[in-house]
Structure 1
Amino acid sequence: MHKYPSVAIAILNWNGRFHLESFLPSVYNSTYPNLEFIIGDNGSTDDSIEFIKTNYPLIRIIENDTNYGFAEGYNRVLEKVEADYFILLNSDVEVTDNWIEPMIEAMEADPMIAAAQPKIRSWSLKTSFEHAGAAGGFIDLYGYPFCRGRIMDTVELDTGQYDDSQEVFWATGAALFIRKDCWKEVGGFDPDFFAHMEEIDLCWRLKRKKYKIWYCSESEVYHVGGGTLDKTNPQKTFLNFRNNLFMILKNARFPKTTIFIRLWLDLIALLRFAVSGKFGDARAVSKAHVDFFRNYSKMKKKRSEIGDPFKVSEIYRGLIVWAFFVQGKKRFHDLDKRKFS
């Protein structure tokens, strides 16, 4: 690349002093030559902003007046940022040398790539992929997301099996590269999601605009995961189940049929939670359904805002839950490649 497009790394912070102290040094030492660093703060009550001002006085701070969640928090921060590319980076991510350059090179080489992600490995077990993103995200016919390198809660070790860069369905919000113009074209994240799956909804809307979502294996980062909401927190269960239904209603080709099937599958999940003694999670699923129907008309209206087409590529034409639990297909390579289109 002879000319370096401008890139802004935006880290959304909420009471994240520990993560900033631990992981910001690796980010701040990034070698990309045309780079701006931004901390977007979501109404923190700890001393994280004071820590940044004292130790990183050149980093720009954009402060929201309260905690707007991941989705609206980023929307408010990025509307004040000018760059050719945004990198939305979680505060609990450690980056490696030369992690930006191959990503920007891939996107510059193909103007139809709207968003992309690097390889996401686990910070605590660096030979393993990380749950939130792994080697690029996909989705099945019924709205269940999974990744190359992670299906359900089974995460693969990285043995180089996904060292091929390719088009995927969604890119993780833990380290999301996106063109500013594409971000603005689709209106950023849906603020009603608050947190969780907003990046999948964003990528789905981009694909409906005929853009590509890309996985770039030449770039690697390490993600802790669960930095804001632990996976055992029922609030995380609520957001995942509700937002998944929001996303289906907004984007799926046959939303009513898909939602009908998903509600029954969610009931099975609710019963599994209850049988295993996870009553908070069981209640969270029920609460998610109530909130989904409360917002049904609102989401249906959003469905028409982007318009056709609803048929997009990189969807697994099957049920990943069936493939995993019944057919025993625990790894992405085990799935029938003919079912992807």
Structure 2
Amino acid sequence: MTATTVVIPSWNGADLLADCLAALWRQTLPPGEVIVIDNGSTDGTAAMLAEAFPEVRLVGLDRNRGFAAAVNAGIRASDTPLIALLNNDAVAEPGWLAALVEAADGERVGMVASKIVDAADPGRIEGIGLEVDPEGNPRQIGRGEPDGPGFVRCREVFGPIAAAALYRRQLLDEVGLFDEDFFAYLEDVDLAWRARRAGWRCLYAPGAVVAHRRGSTGRRIPRRVSYLAWRNHPWLLAKNADRRMLVRFALRQPLRDVADLARLLAARRPLDALVLVSARAAALARLPRMLRRRRNGARARRWRAA
């Protein structure tokens, strides 16, 4: 099978990496290389890896540059035709990588999505891929649903969830890497949207199972997570959505924001209301920059998973 590099971004996740890496050594298809991107950690990650996992290649960044910059650094440091991404709080079952690589063999398949289950409740789906609704709202397919017959067949999805995904280098060379302005959150939707517009496909591989401890990093910085999600969504649409979707968003979202602000203030959550306002202000400040990144005004194709 085609050689594959596994890239794992980590920020102060030494306590999580041991389980994540141990699972990679149990893969039925061993990775060609494992690269951990240390996002400016201060918890002894580098020393732990040197002692317990000397086979792992460590790329250290000077500070926390975010998920997008970290995985981009790993992609640039690798040279294999396929690159798998895996969160440090995810544990892959033995057949994970083999299932991803097998699914990538199809025509114009440039992305492969894993079956991500909740580590606290492995019988419940966290997501089998991404889709975008006609309003431009992305979501994880199957999130919160019990695992069952609906998740056992390979099928096409809009894009993979980057917490556990496979990308073809040829695709990345063609459409570009993750947008580092996003820092984290929705950068995987943006990349998938660009790839689909270029004619690449994404398959869901049901045999590529990963148990994810969702929010292991995010729960330490909940308001930062909210800020990034609120800021990045307008950028996602500015770069990728067709004009009709953009107009609907511009007309409806301000009213929704006002309603959200009223709800947050009524719940006596003024700091969260301030986060929403500051996130939308930051989004507006760079909106012209994001609009310039639209590929020569190409219309995005709205697409939903079957």
Range of TM-score over shorter length: over 0.9
Pairwise CA distance, 1:65: 2.0
CA contact (8 A) 2:24 2:30 kept: no
Q: Does 2:44 match 1:47?
A: yes
Q: What does residue 267 of structure 2 align with?
A: 276
Pairwise CA distance, 1:231: 8.5
Q: What does residue 313 of structure 1 align with?
A: 303
Matched residue of 1:103: which SS?
helix
Q: What does residue 331 of structure 1 align with?
A: none
Equivalent residues in 2 for 1:91-102, closer than 5 Å: 91-102=88-99
Q: Does 2:168 match 1:174?
A: no
CA contact (8 A) 2:230 2:279 kept: yes
Partner Cα separation in structure 2 for residue 229 and residue 122 of structure 1? 15
- In structure 2, runs of 5+ residues without a counterpart are none
Q: What does residue 24 of structure 1 align with?
A: 21
Partner Cα separation in structure 2 for residue 262 and residue 142 of structure 1? 10
Q: What does residue 59 of structure 1 align with?
A: 56
Pairwise CA distance, 1:304: 2.9
Partner Cα separation in structure 1 for residue 157 and residue 232 of structure 2? 20
Give per-residue Cα distances to partners, 1:177-236, cap 9 Å, x unaligned: 100121222221001000111000100110110111221112211000112212981111
Question: How does the TM-score come out when normalised to structure 1?
Answer: 0.84
Partner Cα separation in structure 1 for residue 237 and residue 114 of structure 2? 26
CA contact (8 A) 1:207 1:312 kept: no
- After superposition, the CA RMSD in angstroms is 1.8
Matched residue of 1:225: which SS?
coil
Percent of paired sites with the same residue: 27
Q: Does 2:301 match 1:302?
A: no
Q: What does residue 148 of structure 1 align with?
A: 141
Q: What does residue 84 of structure 2 align with?
A: 87
Pairwise CA distance, 1:261: 1.8
1:5 paired residue among 2, 13, 31:
2
CA contact (8 A) 1:116 1:177 kept: yes
Pairwise CA distance, 1:18: 0.6
Give per-residue Cα distances to partners, 1:67-120, cap 9 Å, x unaligned: 111111221232121111111100000111211112211111x13111111111
Matched residue of 2:211: which SS?
strand
Pairwise CA distance, 1:33: 4.2
- In structure 1, runs of 5+ residues without a counterpart are 316-339
Matched residue of 2:295: which SS?
helix
Deviates more, 1:265-274 or 1:176-185: 265-274
Give per-residue Cα distances to partners, 1:249-277, cap 9 Å, x unaligned: 11000224323322322332333233233
